[in-house]
Structure 1
Amino acid sequence: MTDPRDLMHRAADLAGVLVAAVPAGAGDRPTPCTEWSVDDLRGHLVAVTARVAHIARGGFPFDLPTLVEAEPAEGFAAAYSAGIAGVRQAWADDELLARTVHHPAGDLPGAAAAMIYAQEFATHAVDLAVAVGRTDLLDEEFLAQVLEISVRFVPAERDGFPFAPPVPVADDAPVHVRLSAWLGRALPAPVPN
């Protein structure tokens, strides 16, 4: 495949579009990531940007929180955008792809970690899009690439993986629905924005 950083950056950018698209007053809405509200999920994405940059610099993911619990003073969208700029800078070194990084799943080559984070950013972009009724902002063609990787690397038998078993959906369901289903999320009916 092409450089997995490209996929990670595209997924992060897609998540950024959705972080910014959350309408006022929607922060308490539930998401397909059932333990988190919309604002919880935005806080998680801001935290993930810090973790992704941190592990690229040799740090351990658990040095940093998994969730920013209060909205940053500059707002979630601006904090996320700044975090993504930090990710791009931290991952600029081509040698990082072969170097071992400390990921929450264990020590991995940087290339593998980038693929995992591509899946995380893309999946949470879908979670936000569904929660706020903005699936029109999703790039289904791009998500098809993420789905293909997910099917190849996340087995249907989930021992040791942080996902519920796959949820059955129609073969012709939109890609974002199939991606969520493969990762164990049954998507609710769309919420009007």
Structure 2
Amino acid sequence: MDTTQDPRPLYLLALGQLEKLIAEATPAALDRPTPCEEYDLRQLLGHVVGGVHRLAYIGEGGRAEDVVAATGDLPDDAWPAAFERARARVTAAWADDAKLDRPSFAPWGEVPGRAAVGGYVMEAVTHSWDVARALGSGLALDEELGRAALAVAEFVLPAENRGGPVPFGPVRPAPADADATTRLAAYLGREV
């Protein structure tokens, strides 16, 4: 990833994509399985909303390890509003340009703020794919976002030594004509 770049516009674009998908998640769909085998859709939405709050907390000067992961304990119809609140918080937390170059304490260690936000671009885009698959959504995922997130993944996550402390499975094959987000999902160990 080019660390001179400002990843915030891509992150906000990724959040916009997630927001559209979360709006499709009816209460009846929340028990569906997702490509993240450990999560049903409700738990995945908890993880997604919790991740946005975690990045906000990092931007506010906190350490990622101080945030307890969300479990998905919201009323079934509350996900869009919860996501909107998280999005507003993260946008405010990272509004100051100077934070991009300050040390930040992400789940993977101390990094410049831009690297923390860049990592969460990958997270948001990947989970957009997961949510879209769980819903059977017809939403076309943004190709630019997919390419950017795949570039981050390939830069920071070697294909070897997956599992254990690295929370991704082995790289899986993707069809030759797969879009960038599907290739990202396969790179991160999803069955595509």
SS of residue in 2 equivalent to 1:136: coil
The aligned residue for residue 177 of structure 1 is 182
- Detail structure 1 runs of 4+ shifted over 4 Å in the superposition: none
| Contact 2:45–2:72 (8 Å) recurs in 1 | no
> Number of aligned pairs?
187
| Alpha-carbon distance, 1:72 to partner | 4.9
Map 1:139-150; keep pairs closer than 5 Å.
139-150=142-153
The aligned residue for residue 6 of structure 2 is 3
| Alpha-carbon distance, 1:57 to partner | 1.2
Structure 1 runs not aligned, ≥5 long: 188-193
Map 1:54-69; keep pairs closer than 5 Å.
54-69=57-72
Map 1:111-126; keep pairs closer than 5 Å.
111-126=114-129
Please report the RMSD computed on the Cα atoms of aligned residues, expressed in angstroms.
1.8
Question: TM-score, normalised on structure 2?
Answer: 0.90
Structure 2 runs not aligned, ≥5 long: none
Question: TM-score, normalised on structure 1?
Answer: 0.89
Separation (CA, whole Å) in 2 of partners of 1:26 and 1:170: 27
The aligned residue for residue 190 of structure 1 is none
Question: Is 1:23 matched with 2:18?
Answer: no
Q: Which moved more, 1:98-107 or 1:12-21?
A: 12-21
Separation (CA, whole Å) in 1 of partners of 2:68 and 2:20: 23
| Alpha-carbon distance, 1:104 to partner | 1.0
**Matched-pair identity in %:** 38
| Alpha-carbon distance, 1:106 to partner | 1.0
The aligned residue for residue 158 of structure 2 is 155
| Contact 1:46–1:68 (8 Å) recurs in 2 | no
